[in-house]
Chain A
Amino acid sequence: MSVDAVPVLQVRDLRTYFNTLDGVVRAVDGVTFDVGRGETLGIVGESGCGKSVTALSILRLIPPETGRIVGGSIRFDGRELVGLDEAEMKSLRGHRISMIFQEPMTSLNPVLTVGTQIAENVVRHLGVSWRQGLDRAREMLELVRIADAARRLDEYPHQLSGGMRQRVMIAIALSCEPRVLIADEPTTALDVTIQAQILDLMLELKEKLGTAIVLITHDLGVIAETAERVVVMYAGRKVEEASVSSLFAQPMHPYTRGLMRAIPRLDIEADTAGRRPRLQEIPGLVPILTRPIPGCAFADRCGFATDRCRAERPPSVEVRPGHEVACWETARVAEAA
Chain B
Amino acid sequence: MSTAPVLEVQGLVKHFPILGGLLQRRVGEVRAVDGVSFSIARGETLGLVGESGCGKSTIGKVVLKLIEPTAGRILLGGEDVSSLKPGAMWAHRRRIQTIFQDPYSALNPRLPSGTLVGEPLENFGLARGAELGERVAKLFERVGLRPDAMRKFAHEFSGGQRQRLGIAKALSVNPDLIVADEPVSALDVSVQAQVLNLLIDLQEEYGLAYLFISHDLAVMRHISHRIAVMYLGRIVELTTKRALFEGHLHPYTEALLSAATAPDPARRKRRRRIVQGDVPSPAKPPPGCHFHTRCPYAIAECRTLAPPLIEVAPGHHVACHRRPVGGGPHPLSTTV
Contacts and interface: CB of A to CB of B under 8 A. Distances in A.
Interface residues of B, number: 44
B261 interface: yes
B94 to A, nearest CB: 27
Interface stretch (B66-74, B125-133, B213-221): B213-221
Contact of A224 (B194, B259, B263): B263
Nearest to A164: B278
Interface of B: 51-52, 158, 188-190, 192-194, 196-197, 200-201, 215-219, 221-223, 241-242, 245-246, 255-265, 267-268, 272, 274-276, 278-279
A300 interface: no
11 contacts: A193-B51, A193-B256, A199-B261, A224-B265, A262-B192, A264-B221, A265-B221, A265-B222, A266-B221, A269-B221, A279-B197
Please give me the 3 A-B residue pairs with the lowest Cβ-Cβ distance, nearest first: A221-B261, A264-B222, A196-B259
Nearest to A194: B278
A133 B217 CA distance: 42
A221 B262 contact: yes
A218 B268 contact: no
Contacts of B276: 197
Contacts of A192: 51, 215, 217, 256, 259-260
Contacts, number: 130
Contacts of B190: 46, 258-259, 262, 281-282
Contacts of A46: 188-190
A194 B245 CA distance: 20
Size bin of chain A's contact surface: 35 or more
B215 to A, nearest CB: 7
Contacts of B216: 264
A269 B268 CA distance: 19
Given A192-B51, A193-B255, A244-B265, A266 B189 contact: no
Interface in A215-264: 218-225, 244-245, 248, 258-260, 262-264
Contacts of A222: 261
A285 B161 CA distance: 10
A221 B265 contact: no
B222 A224 contact: no
Interface string A28-61: 0000000000000000001100000000000000
A287 to B, nearest CB: 12
Given A191-B51, A221-B261, A267-B267, A262 B189 contact: yes
Q: Point out which of A46, A276, A282 has the most chain B C-beta atoms below 10 A from its C-beta.
A: A276
Contacts of A248: 263-265
